[in-house]
Structure 1
Amino acid sequence: MTTENNQPTEDTGSSESGTGSMTPEAMRAASQAATDSAIGSTVGVADGGAERSKPRENTLLHVENLKMYFPVTAGIIFQRKVADIKAVDGLTFDVREGETLGLVGESGCGKSTTGRAILQLYRPTDGEVVMFDPKYASASDTPEVSADALVTDVAGSDSPGVDLTKLKGGKLRAYRRRMQMIFQDPYASLNPRMSVGSIVGEPMAIHNLHKGRRKERVRELLETVGLNPYFASRYPHEFSGGQRQRIGIARALAVEPAFIVADEPVSALDVSIQAQIINLMEDLQRDFGLTYLFIAHDLSVVRHISHRVAVMYLGKIVELTESDLLYENPLHPYTQALLSAVPIPDPQIERTRERIILTGDVPSPLNPPPGCNFHTRCPIAIDVCREEDPEMREIEPGHFAKCHRV
């Protein structure tokens, strides 16, 4: 229920969620109380001794109105499209060179699909993915840079950037050298019938790099990720999960990319191994000027490694800002609920803190609700939320949120 001035009444959903009467300020306070203890006690898991690298001012990747719809068909002989699953629905953001942009959200919100659509593993339904020339990433010392020569031919020497969604065939393959992916599952992402040396060396063979010294280059890459060079003759089943993920990272580095999509690279690993992989990724970023899109569920890991964080819900980004600012002052109700759900190690604080409990299930991307797609679960939703989709607005300097109530 709402009053005439569109303010929620005291009894709105309070019997179900316990948060229906909370104002945005109260929700923010509850979220902050949980975050101060929970994140503060867990973020140190991956602390390393070296200082973090800082992102540059130039943009490496620009994503504009990215959409990824999967068609739903009906019929056996004559199939026809009857609907679309809106996995990603109109994302716009930039990634600066040398930056780690964290992408968080619950399962099914479209995080992994976003990463694959950026890399053109899925061809987007609509939108632009513009990649610019890196200015500070480590350059290759390899004379056989046929891929880079083709990139220059595609973009032109004076081109500010190239829309990857417009490229096909060999022209797209040329850009694949500049962008790679680290997969979530270290067991399924490696071919069990190929040796480690063949796995790491395959990208170099595809892009015609390091002729005559690929074996030497494979050994160098294994050393770079903390593995014994003699492991090149072994097979994936002989390694632990953490070692397999290091092999996957070495494979991604083989073509010396500027941009890497890390799709939950530590979610399948033990906590102690997670810390090692996170520290390794930070070291590689500092040494080679890498840029990451880091997809994850673990909020403490995301805060540690990311310079900025984007929060996704049902195919859309609902909040985007600097990492520390997001955790210190979450603005969107969904972000506040996420942070309040982080468990606190201290049992006394855990028993007394106030949590923001969301009722109901996430709507289906096959039939998203009108207006704000979060209004069906939002404890502070008003009439306008059910009718109009809010714009992404800069609420504070560098802090963007997609909410009518902020």
Structure 2
Amino acid sequence: MDASSKKGAIAVIGAGPAGLAAARYFTAEDSPFVCQVFEQGDDLGGTWRLSEFVDTDDKGRKVHSSMYKNLRTNLPKEIMCYPDFPFPTYPESYVPSEKVLKYLLDFASHYQLRKIIKFNRSVVQVRPFKKNDDDTVNWEIKTRDYLTDEEFTDYFAGVAVCNGHHSEPIIPEIEGKQEFDGFIMHSHAYRESCPFKGQRVLVVGAGPSGLDIALEVSKVALRVSLSHHLKSSQINFKGKSVQQVTDILRLAPGKRVEFVDGTKDEFDAIIYCTGYKNSFPFLHEDCKITTDGFGVEPLYKHMINIEHPTMCLTGLARFFYSLMSGKFQCADKREMYRELKADQHWRRNKGYGPRQAHKLGALQQEYYDELAKIAHIKSIDVVVSKLGLESTKRIYSDLCSFREAKFKLLDDKNYLEL
């Protein structure tokens, strides 16, 4: 298809897993679009690319990846792959991070995506504008080359924002942190356990990274405590030397920490595994996208900008491709806002807080099926959400050995544990 018959240009921000998925569909042989990917790093892979740097790299770029050495996936590879590109037949289901990165590199090579990626290109601003007298919104995107410091302005018919959400760490505000003499860091800067050898370490947060890091550090530290507010019975360390404690009340002079249950202890280091914020600093206010760091709005179906539906903020590429291709149209603006308000009301009634603004949990398959019906595309296989939910449960119930399990997908609904 020659350029004159193309519908328009699509910008993809980020060459991580979500950005590569978008690029693959918008550059398919039958795609009516041209596509350009902007990646601030010097290679693809996003959060799966391990960086030796912590805050900024040797080119002055803010380090995006939160990857650490020895990380293994907490989902089986059998359900982590793109629909039309399976993982190699590795013997294990839970693979090391370097194998995920190789998979992404192979995917990009197979679909010849490197030729449309501009590396070392930081997105400075994304702004909507009306090119003609009609209501058609186009996008002006300003970028800067990290190597030459040259600035560019390009124009697009649509934009997929795929900049990831594991790069802006949440640092809790805890009383007394200025008086604490120990070492404090966020897991975003964690790379390996060696620096904590022989130390008393407090890990804060019982999400997957908190559990992972607590377990890894316990192999070299003098002792490790995990501070969280889950029921301790939910996490099974199987006798490993990790003590579970309550939330921090305050930090005190020296290396003392006081907890909400009244207990006190001393620690040489604190590692905050307290999650990350959503952040889109390059979106101009005219994009009408706002975030408190957790929820992003106004979004239709948790991904489409209601005010400007040619902008998508997610990795569900097939839905956005179908929309931009004209295979379906979004509901009118009033209906999209009505759905958004209904979803927010439902979440409040469930007792969800800001961090659960886009939580799906056990409703994943229902969500996938709804999107597929709207977009006239095939849904995600039921086996993907089924095995995903089972694997997530095992993170807490069988933390020390759940990664030894091996799975085989039998069909689109069933799997077998080998």
Give the TM-score normalised by structure 1. Answer: 0.26
Hey, which of these two has a bigger chunk of helix by percent? 1
Which structure has more relative contact order (CA 8 Å, sep 6+)? It is 1
Give the TM-score normalised by structure 2. Answer: 0.25
